Amino acid sequence: MKYIDLRSDTVTKPTQEMRDAMYIAPVGDDVFSDDETMNALEDLVAKTLGKEAGVFVPSGTFSNQLSLFTHCNQGDEVIVDQDAHIVQHESGASPVISSVQLFTLESNHGIWDLNKLERVIKKRTLSTTETRLVCVENAYNGSVLPLDYMERVFTLAKRHGLAVHLDGARIFNAATALGVEVSEIAQYADTVSVCLSKALGAPAGTVLVGPKDFIDKARMKRKIMGGGMRQVGILAAAAKISVEVMSKRLGIDHDNAIYMEALLREIPGIKIDEHQRDINMVFFDIDDERKYKLHEFLFDNGVKILEYEGIFRFVTHYDIDREDIKKAIDLVKRYFS
């Protein structure tokens, strides 16, 4: 059975164009920097983001953690949002890999009170560690942080001599929603992690971009983490199409999410999370005990969703069209009727 999969945009399959490009891609040994397709991809992503250099890694988690590992020394402190992917969904990697202390600062839907941010920045004393890095995420779950906010965080961090890392797993979605180039967002971070395998459809891969000396150091640390790969031009060939082609069509997913939201709103008692309606995701809740079993009912009827976890999240993407959305939401309506 072909399932309608609303769990995430990570489920997208490589397009035929990607598969064709992978088949013919010239490759080499990337650990020797000999893979011309990969070298070109790293340059392309760096240039697109307005940075000097980039390094390809297997996943968004790897990239974020490599960034922390490269920016920080043992015992340094990193400030992150309390709901950031780095602290909530990366298997507790930061203290394991980088031996850093994560300071989680509460935000209002991804927006910090900047006075609070300034107050928690630490200088090294006998009893305090030193803050080294501030991490932001944009898009932040389903919401997009405005450029002026990004700028204010960056300016504040620089005033205190701190680096800023941006988890831009969905930075192309954020740029689409803001109607700006990704480089306009990336200018407010020293390093950016850019996932190519989510809404952009590549089979795997994330590029960490930043200043050349930082990326040279990150390349060494990538090897320590076991991330030195060989003929990865195969993956780079698909990822190039992600950047050049797939990034231009994300508005369709965003419009489809608006369509999905409108259909969901027809269900009595549904509560759409308005704060998270900027990209290809619709978060919602419903005051109905049957919600805990919705995933089972949908699965039995050809639709995959994530289990209810305090909220539902339905995601649109390249492999979902309006007909799929209508079919899925009609089932949700039937279930709750």
Nearer to ligand PLP, 53 or 281 (CB): 281
Q: How far is the CB of 297 from ligand PLP (least distance, A)?
A: 25
User: How far apart are the C-alpha atoms of 264 and 333, rounded to whole Å?
Assistant: 8
Binding mask 6-35 for ligand PLP (x = CB under 6 A): ----x-------------------------
Under the criterion CB under 6 A, does residue 169 sit at the interface with ligand PLP?
yes
Which listed range, 60-68, 216-224, 312-320, 327-335, lies at the site for ligand PLP (CB under 6 A)? Answer: 60-68
Nearer to ligand PLP, 273 or 329 (CB): 273
- Give the one residue of 61, 65, 107, 256 binding ligand PLP; rule: CB under 6 A: 61
User: How far apart are the C-alpha atoms of 168 and 182, rounded to whole Å?
Assistant: 9
Nearer to ligand PLP, 106 or 216 (CB): 106
Under the criterion CB under 6 A, does residue 239 sit at the interface with ligand PLP?
no
Under the criterion CB under 6 A, does residue 253 sit at the interface with ligand PLP?
no
User: How far apart are the C-alpha atoms of 320 and 99, rounded to whole Å?
Assistant: 41
Phi-psi region of 205 (alpha: psi -120 to 50; beta: other; left: phi over 0): left
How would you classify the pairing of strands 101-105 and 303-304?
unpaired
- Torsion over CA of 167, 173, 112 and 100, rounded to 10 degrees? -10
User: How far apart are the C-alpha atoms of 326 and 263, rounded to whole Å?
Assistant: 8
- Torsion over CA of 58, 59, 62 and 67, rounded to 10 degrees? 100
Under the criterion CB under 6 A, does residue 317 sit at the interface with ligand PLP?
no
Nearer to ligand PLP, 170 or 219 (CB): 170
Nearer to ligand PLP, 14 or 60 (CB): 60
Nearer to ligand PLP, 140 or 214 (CB): 140
Q: How far is the CB of 137 from ligand PLP (least distance, A)?
A: 5
Per-position DSSP letters for 135-160, written without gaps between them: EEESSBTTB---HHHHHHHHHHHHHT
* Contact (CB, 8 A) for 52 and 186: no
* Residue reference for tokens 């993956």: 235
Under the criterion CB under 6 A, does residue 167 sit at the interface with ligand PLP?
yes
Residues in touch with ligand PLP (CB under 6 A):
10, 59-61, 64, 85, 137, 167, 169, 195, 206
